[in-house]
Chain A
Amino acid sequence: DGGITQSPKYLFRKEGQNVTLSCEQNLNHDAMYWYRQDPGQGLRLIYYSQIVNDFQKGDIAEGYSVSREKKESFPLTVTSAQKNPTAFYLCASTLGTVISSPLHFGNGTRLTVT
């Protein structure tokens, strides 16, 4: 079955360490996204990528970095510069035309930084 795989499900890190969250999709979707979810808030866009080797900042990109070397993969690095990294991170992808395509989401990674 096609889908989006995020790993790991839970991640714990010490403050000051960089950490990379994995996102792989086998849906052959062109566009991929990273969203952050905090308790009681909606999802906020961190980065997105429309094609391989290209990505753009979303609304809250500071303290994060991404790469898109392969169509299937869009890893997110949470750097030590991110002031409040503890959150639930969701990866998503879309196929098709702008704005009409529903996002397909992975199961998410819950990151805790202490």
Chain B
Amino acid sequence: AQKVTQAQTEISVVEKEDVTLDCVYETRDTTYYLFWYKQPPSGELVFLIRRNSFDEQNEISGRYSWNFQKSTSSFNFTITASQVVDSAVYFCALSEALGSAGTASKLTFGTGTRLQVTL
């Protein structure tokens, strides 16, 4: 069975600090996708990034960066120079195929990390 572990339940930082959110996953599949989602207080989950199992290049998007290491089954997320607007719950997720029609997938989510950024 697939599993995603986000060991950090809650992190508090002061604005402009860098912060790393950890994600460790387990799967027997050789082809899989990993995702990060942000859930602000409004409740809607916002897609941040997708990474497939064959692409271990790190990615940077503005203040966000992701470090994927297949050897340690980790997909960590770093926010540089954090801002108050980054305060949210962040979820790491692992996808697997569902059904026979080939148009559905299931995400296995971690329990989320609540990030609180204060002034």
Q: B-contacting residues of A (Cβ < 8 Å)?
A: 30-31, 33, 40-45, 48-51, 56, 58, 88, 90, 92, 94, 96-108, 110
Q: Contact check: which of A40, A44, A99 meets B95 at CB < 8 Å?
A: A99
- B43 in the interface (beta carbon within 8 A): yes
Whether A99 pairs with B97 at a CB distance below 8 angstroms is yes
CA–CA, A42 and B5, complex, Å = 10
Residue of B nearest to A103 (CB): B107
CA–CA, A97 and B93, complex, Å = 17
CA–CA, A102 and B44, complex, Å = 14
Whether A58 pairs with B106 at a CB distance below 8 angstroms is yes
Which 5 residue pairs spanning A and B have beta carbons closest together?
A42-B109, A31-B104, A105-B45, A108-B43, A99-B95
Taking chain B's interface residues, is the majority helix, strand, or loop, or is none over half, making it mixed? strand
Number of interface residues of B (CB under 8 A): 34
Residue of B nearest to A90 (CB): B45
Whether A30 pairs with B103 at a CB distance below 8 angstroms is yes
Chain A contacts for B35, CB-based, 8 A? 102
| A to B contact number (C-beta, < 8 Å) | 88
Chain B contacts for A49, CB-based, 8 A? 104
B50-91 Cβ-contact flags toward A at 8 Å (1 or 0): 101000000000000000000000000000000000000001
Residue of A nearest to B32 (CB): A99
12 CB-based A-B contacts, threshold 8 Å: A42-B91, A42-B93, A42-B110, A49-B104, A50-B101, A51-B101, A51-B103, A90-B45, A98-B97, A98-B103, A99-B31, A101-B105
Whether A45 pairs with B9 at a CB distance below 8 angstroms is no
Residue of A nearest to B101 (CB): A50
Whether B101 pairs with A105 at a CB distance below 8 angstroms is no
Chain B contacts for A99, CB-based, 8 A? 31-33, 95-97, 105
CA–CA, A92 and B93, complex, Å = 14
Whether B91 pairs with A94 at a CB distance below 8 angstroms is no
Chain B contacts for A110, CB-based, 8 A? 43
A102 to chain B, nearest CB (A): 4
Chain B contacts for A50, CB-based, 8 A? 98-99, 101, 103-104
